[in-house]
Amino acid sequence: MQPESREYLNKKSINHSDFIPQLINSNLLKNNDLIITMEWSHKDEIIDSYSIIKKITEKTFTLKEFNGAKEDLDIIDPYYTNRSTYQKIMQLIDTQVENLILKIIKIKKNAN
């Protein structure tokens, strides 16, 4: 985890002690109902590389796309940016993840 990400999570009192980066693989993709990427190119790469996985296209979205955006679907990787830009991107991700959670809650309520 990037130090800036760790710092951001710590400020929000979000526990990240169990964070373990994983490489994408077919089992990981098969065993999840929703796949969220930050950039459209990542989404395309997953769909192209793992097209054999059932419903891969229907369950793979960019974060902004899942939340209803129709354009400007990428959230850039803040890794090579300055500290100020990194913080702005983290805040954008934070807002988008909150919206994702609310949408999933709504979907689950409507399914029951």
Enumerate the domain spans of the chain.
17-111
pTM of the model: 0.88
Render pLDDT for 13-42 as a digit per residue (tens, 0 to 9).
999 999 998 899 999 999 999 999 999 999
Give the pLDDT confidence score for residue 82 in this predicted structure.
Answer: 87
Measured CA to CA, the distance from residue 58 to residue 13 in angstroms comes to: 34
User: Which fold, 17-111?
Assistant: Rossmann fold (3.40.50)
- Where the chain has pLDDT below 50, the residues are none
Give the pLDDT confidence score for residue 56 in this predicted structure.
Answer: 98
The closest of 93, 32, 31, 28 to 67, measured between CA atoms, is 93
Q: Return the sign of the alpha-carbon dihedral for residues 89, 90, 91, 96.
A: positive
Q: Which helix (H) or strand (E) holds 82?
A: none
Beta-bridge partners for 35 = 60
Evaluate whether 42 touches 16 at the Cβ level (below 8 Å).
no
Using CA atoms, how far residue 60 sits from 37, 51, 89, in Å, is: 8, 11, 21
Measured CA to CA, the distance from residue 58 to residue 55 in angstroms comes to: 5
